[in-house]
Structure 1
Amino acid sequence: MSSSEAIVSTAIAGAIIGAAVGGWINDRFGRKVSIIVADTLFFIGSIIMAAANGPAVLLFGRVFVGLGVGMASMASPLYISEASPTRVRGALVSLNSFLITGGQFLSYLINLAFTKAPGTWRWMLGVASVPALIQIVLMLSLPESPRWLYRKGKEDEAKLILKKIYEVEDYDNEIQQLKESVEMELKNTEKISMMQLIKTTSVRRGLYAGVGLAFFQQFVGINTVMYYSPTIVQLAGFASNRTALLLSLITSGLNAFGSILSIYFIDKTGRKKLALISLTGVVLSLALLTVTFRETEIHSPMVSPFESKQFSNNTCPEFNTATLNNQKWNCVRCIQSSNKPTCGFCADHNKIQPGACLIKNDFSKNQCGKEKRAWYTQGCPSNFGWVALVGLGLYIIFFSPGMGTVPWVVNSEIYPLRYRGVCGGIASTTVWVSNLVVSQSFLSLTEVIGPSWTFMIFGVIAIVAILFVIVFVPETKGVPIEEVEDMLEKRFVQIKFWKKRDSLGSQKH
């Protein structure tokens, strides 16, 4: 594992632990306390990383950051959901997703701003402590979740907060539903356990939907796009690191734009329909990427023995052996050479014409550059590269408004109050474990089977996700949180979309 992979993996491992522990802290100490603890961990981690004097200290700081991110990933949407009026609940949780994706875009810009500053990386890591500190201060002035307070017996405090959230005509109804929900839960004094979660019908069905959405959110490949977008751009045939980073910035911007769309559509279209529209677009985008990368592999520029020999003794040894055996190589075969040393492709001035296969090192890169040629080590020159970029852009635009936000919204509102923190923690842990598996296997998969088949695998998983959403995910749009439990009790298979509620507030079937 490379140092960069170790740094990424350490943070994700911390997030897995933070998400798992965060569910218990959410239920035991409240949503507000959980968010403040998460911010504190993030603040400490950022300071440690900025002051690091070696890799070990840097990794130690990343663990703190990961713990904070894992805890906040479910605590924030849960707090927002429980402190929001029903009619705008989805939009406000989606706003949380927009602020996350917008923050990612902003971080790219901040990193660019600090590229020429003394101690560049320390500023990049240390500046992350500022928003964490600001949120700690602001959270101290905000109330606790009224639903959590009500369940903990602080009814008067909860009612005061709910009066500020709901219109007068809705307030009595919300209080009555909350009272009935809490009374039902308090009858069950049994300690929460995994066996109890499975035995409780509404919780079990909620977990099917919530954990399934969390799993598919990651396994359709989103974080391979976000973590490795510069690599994917190079796989599409764009050799320049500068170009790859610029296009990655655009990718991050599209992700933030998609989150804005979610704010508008999630309470109008509904969670389930938005997820299905999103996944359908993801399937089409991945199909386009699969075909494009396959065409790039098939029409890869050939390797010319004559071109390769022009670079003295730096020709790829494996290519020399293949030439002696009358084997013809193309660029893809060159950069995927399995023996040591690994090799790279120095393109012809007309990039799709035969080029040279050379040992992958700085000398080869510099020699290729002196000839005003492009140097490829991850992807190959192609006439189809721009189509891959279109596919990448479409993937982000379709994913972000739907599968980027719907899993978080559904998981913040689908579980009974007593189990909400624990179940949310399970779903959040699923997200981070899936994230780790996908992000750590992506580059290995592209090396073994190529990017085209890798994207096809993600596409097949997205098709399975569509079927899963149709069958198991209920529509929670406009349904008061306290009524979701009753909805799940009555129905397991969710193939039929939930219709609009009638004037009495009961669900039509």
Structure 2
Amino acid sequence: MTIESLPGSSGYLGASERKLTYFSNSYVLGLTLVAGIGGLLFGYDTGVISGALLYIRDEFEVVNQSSFLQETIVSMALVGAIIGAAAGGWVNDVYGRKKATLLADVVFAIGSIVMAAAPDPYVLIFGRLLVGLGVGVASVTAPMYIAEAAPTEIRGGLVSTNVLMITGGQFLSYLVNLAFTEVPGTWRWMLGVSGVPAAIQFSLMLFLPESPRWLYMKKEKSQAIVVLSKIYDPYRLEEEIDQLAAALEEERQRKNAVRYSDVFRSEEIRLAFLAGAGLQAFQQFTGINTVMYYSPTIVQMAGFSSNQLALLLSLIVALMNAAGTVVGIYLIDHFGRRKLALSSLSGVIVSLALLSAAFFLESSSSTNGFYGWIAVLGLALYIAFFSPGMGPVPWTVNSEIYPQSYRGICGGMSATVNWVSNLIVAQSFLSIADAVGTGATFLILAGIAVLAFAFVALFVPETKGLTFEEVEQIWREKARSSGYGSEALLVAGDLS
């Protein structure tokens, strides 16, 4: 059964007897790729510091002698991202997705210049804070902008393109790291180059429209219809406008503007936020950015002392991350969000257990190198399982589970949860590894992955193939505890 034959789901495809693909509309694809540069900035920033840190330690002895200072250099960008994500929801709702993106680009570019010119570790930390602010705003804005411009049938894949840009940015950062290993001022080039994609996105974004859903809700109907007419064929356009009109009418009936506290007053919004924020937290607490921030360090912990070899092996890990995300783009609209997350977490649990075992055995063995290669294999398997599922699923689900009037606020709050979780993991990984050992640290992450599996199974519904309005109905039915209406929608979204 295909989506177009499902009653109660978006059955627009049958009207034209055509199947939408990711390349059906070059205009939508262009919007997605330009907005996705925000993901590229996100990925580059998370990846580049892992290699730059090796050379920052060489230049500043105070950094080399302090694990806390190393963690602070890494995690100060996360502090900025927390602030940026928290404010980003409000900026998106008030000023729109386009202006939010432009603001993120300006702040990120300034931060990259400050980092490249930093005379000491403390100015560098300030630069990291600035780029974090830009990344935080972009992490809220990019998936929201893409989701609101994407047809329902391919929304998951297009939003996941933003995650592909994140992983692509991480891979690019490792290439840049390798390219500048023999250049004077190594880490300054690594960090300074990050301003280039921000400038490119700023220039391109000036020529792109605002999100049509945001325009319509702000009563700029004529502008919204112009944008929608470039996204949908005439047969589909009328349906989309009708849905927006219904959503606008529902928003008019609300007594006051949505506030942060309102998220916790409504049972259905609480349930949606629990699912979205929980996914974002578990994405980080299962260790992905521990791997991406510290993969060269982990490789050296496994017994490979050369900076160049550590970066090369980390480059392979980053390439696998990007390749896995491409697989995820296909699977997320065919296999479904929930199934993909559960399958991904199953593999993550196994690979983290393997990593833990490798480090335990390496510490008690006289065999040089063997268990180090087992650790590298564990890293590769971890990425192979994580990247198609728990990489894109949290961002995709969060872009589609909230009502229009709550989308900015809840999206920002959920992204903030992601960055706070990211900060906790990044700031504590080396210290925990020093205290209890690397093997025990990965074992802890494996235990968290087990909890994440249970959370997804219990609290995250399937949203594949559903319109925004149908997803809202899931939460209404769950809040009423009847289960009948939501079950029908869950089944509809789960068929292919």
Provide closer, same or farther for how the CA distance between residues 111 and 385 of structure 1 changes in structure 2, counting only shifts above 3 A: closer
1:201 and 1:171, CA in 2 relative to 1: closer, same or farther beyond 3 A? Answer: farther
Residue pair 1:178, 1:482 contacting (<8 A) in 2 also: no
Q: 1:196-233 CA deviation, whole Å, 9 max, x = no partner?
A: 21122331111011000000000011111111112222
TM-score, with structure 2 as normaliser: 0.81
Shift of residue 116, structure 1, vs aligned partner: 2.8
Q: Answer with 256-265 or 483-492: which moved more.
A: 483-492
Match of 2:345 among 253, 270, 279: 279
Q: Report how many residues are paired.
A: 424
Deviations 1:407-426 (A, max 9, x none): 01111111111111111111
1:500 maps to 492
1:432 aligns with 2:424: no
Amino acid at match of 1:499: V
The residue type paired with residue 120 of structure 2 is G
Q: 1:450 to 1:119 in 2, by over 3 A?
A: closer
Name the structure 1 match of 2:385.
Answer: 398
1:461 is displaced (CA, Å) by 0.9
Matching residue's letter, 1:95:
T
2:221 partner letter? E
Partner of 1:403, secondary structure, is coil
Give the Cα–Cα distance (whole angstroms) in 2 for the partners of residues 409 and 184 of structure 1.
24
Quick check: 1:163 aligned with 2:150? no
Any idea what the Cα deviations from partners look like across 1:225-284, whole Å, max 9, x if unmatched?
A: 111112222333333333222111111111111111111111111111111111111011
Residues of 1 paired with 2:491 and 2:425: CA distance?
A: 36
Unaligned stretches of 5+ in structure 2? 1-65
- Paired position in structure 2 for 1:185: 251
TM-score, structure 1 normalization: 0.79
Counterpart of 2:469 (choices 463, 473, 482) is 482
Deviation at 1:155, TM superposition (A): 1.2
Structure 2 counterpart of 1:260, from 290, 314, 326: 326
1:352-396: CA deviations, max 9, x gaps?
A: 3xxxxxxxxxxxxxxxxxxxxxxxxxxxx3532222222111100
Q: Deviations over 1:474-504 (max 9, x none)?
A: 1111111232111211125899792236xxx
Report the Cα distance in structure 1 between the residues aligned to 2:476 and 2:307, rounded to whole angstroms.
Answer: 54
Answer 1 or 2: which has greater helix percent.
Answer: 2
Alignment equivalent of 1:119, drawn from 167, 181, 185: 185
Cα drift, residue 16 of structure 1: 0.7
* Mean CA deviation greater in 58-67 or 488-497: 488-497
Q: Secondary structure at the match of 2:333?
A: helix
SS at match of 1:277: helix
Equivalent runs, 1:219-234 vs 2, <5 Å? 219-234=285-300
Match of 2:354 in 1: 288
Alpha-carbon displacement from aligned partner over 1:66-105 (angstroms, at most 9, x marks no partner): 1000110110010000011111111111111111111111
**1: CA distance between counterparts of 2:350 and 2:323?**
20
CA apart distance, 1:450: 1.7
Residues of 1 paired with 2:220 and 2:285: CA distance? 41
Aligned to 2:405: 418
Does residue 100 in structure 1 map to residue 92 in structure 2?
Answer: no
| Corresponding residue for residue 216 of structure 2 | 150
Instruction: Find the aligned partners of 1:385 and 1:108 in 2 and give their Cα distance.
Output: 21
Quick check: 1:81 aligned with 2:73? no
CA-based RMSD: 2.0
**1:43 aligns to 2:137 (yes or no):** no
Q: Which runs of 5+ in 1 are unaligned?
A: 302-351, 353-380, 502-506
What SS does the aligned partner of 1:49 have? helix
CA distance in 1, matches of 2:447, 2:412: 28
Q: Secondary structure at the match of 1:163?
A: helix
Correspondence 1:444 to 2:431? yes
2-structure distance, mates of 1:208, 1:286:
26
Distance in 1 (CA, whole Å) between partners of 2:287 and 2:236 is 41
- Does residue 274 of structure 2 align to residue 205 of structure 1? no
Counterpart residue number, 2:134: 68
Q: Give the structure 1 partner of residue 456 of structure 2.
A: 469
Task: Provide the C-alpha distance between the structure 1 equivalents of 2:294 and 2:475, rounded to a whole number of angstroms.
Answer: 39
Paired with 1:451 and 1:118, the residues of 2 have a C-alpha distance of 33
Find the aligned partners of 2:255 and 2:203 in 1 and give their Cα distance.
36
- What code does the residue aligned with 1:300 have? S
**Match of residue 376 from structure 2:** 389
Q: Could you tell me how far apart the structure 1 residues matched to 2:315 and 2:369 are?
A: 22
Q: Which has the larger radius of gyration?
A: 1
Matches of 1:422 and 1:228 in 2, distance apart? 32
